[in-house]
Amino acid sequence: GATKDMGKMLGGEEEKDPDAQKKEEERQEALRQQEEERKAKHARMEAEREKVRQQIRDKYGLKKKEEKEAEEKAALEQPCEGSLTRPKKAIPAGCGDEEEEE
């Protein structure tokens, strides 16, 4: 028996298992199922975390980061009524910061 194994290690002919293909397919299917279960568990945990985050935001009157950014962007896009100056962030690039060429 040991000489057979030595032949395999040295690159000799391997014995082919007739059920090897079937076993490999079953193994691949099991791996896919485990990955799906892991992703589902992760999605459930993330949903629970988001629920807790939302409860905290509601309790303390906080806003989501995306909402806060959207409000800031909207505020910058609105024209400033009655003001001759505007925040530096709101000035588009290339407007007035270059010397005019003659």
Q: What is the pLDDT of residues 79-94, one digit of tens each?
A: 656 556 655 565 666 6
Q: Are 13 and 7 in contact (CB under 8 A)?
A: yes
Phi-psi region at 66: left, alpha or beta (left = phi > 0; alpha = psi -120 to 50): alpha
State residue 73's pLDDT score: 84
Domain ranges of the chain: 19-62
Distance CA 98, CA 100 (A): 6
State residue 45's pLDDT score: 98
Distance CA 78, CA 73 (A): 9
Write the pLDDT tens digit of every residue in 17-32: 778 889 999 999 999 9
